[in-house]
Amino acid sequence: MRFAVSMMQGLVKGPASRRLSWSRRTALAALAVAGLGAPAQAQTLASLPTEAGARVQGDAKPIAAWVTFCQNYAAECALDRGEPARISLTPATWATIVSVNRRVNKAVEPMTDQDHLHVADRWDLAEDGIGDCEDFQLLKRHMLAEAGLPRRAMRMTVVIDEKGEGHAVLTLITDRGDLVLDNKTNAILPWHKTGYVFIKRESQDAVAWVSLGGVTSPVTTANR
């Protein structure tokens, strides 16, 4: 993933609904193969602590490529304030989350936008099976929303990673605290145990971004 100052170039041609149809078919197929009713093998719901969520500290500037993504995939950015603001974690819901996280991490080939598309930053749903960090997380959210989880409680998030670089993860806001889905690991961790510095994430109340208090907001990232 590379966050860029300028708006991204070289958008995929064709209507968003046509582009989305591929990912929807892929999502449903992957969910079926994953076996949503099966118990999570590596992590258990009972092992999760009950934690406080990250504290929102005001408005933040959106990522430029996210703005373009929302123009082309409006349904992926739509926010329904009638949806629950938190995910109620049940064994079935937890198994779904674990399965989708593992499935996408395995299925998508990691590659930076620069290497893949020769652009600094583009957000999409890894329609061709290749993507960088934000594409992994956007596809996971799409699949989880298809499985019935509230999109409002699944927020794209910008962090500074262990290399001091910008990185995108997906924050699940749950009744057990904020949990992080990441393409670097299959482990689903409480936000404050990732080792990342949390900068900002999508708002739960508007199609906008909010600050999480990190002192530095990345302009570009080089992570796959």
- The token duo for 59 is 């408005």
Q: How far apart are CA 73 and CA 92, in angstroms?
A: 29
Global pTM? Answer: 0.80
Q: For residue range 65-79, list pLDDT tens digits in order.
A: 999 999 999 999 999
DSSP 137-158: HHHHHHHHHHTT--GGGEEEEE
Q: For residue range 5-56, list pLDDT tens digits in order.
A: 222 223 233 334 434 444 444 444 444 444 443 444 457 888 887 878 899 9
Residue-level pLDDT at 12:
33
- Residue 9 three-state SS: coil
Nearest to 146 by CA among 54, 36, 71: 36
> Residue 91 pLDDT more than 90?
yes
Residues 6+ apart with CB under 8 A from 165: 218, 221, 222, 223
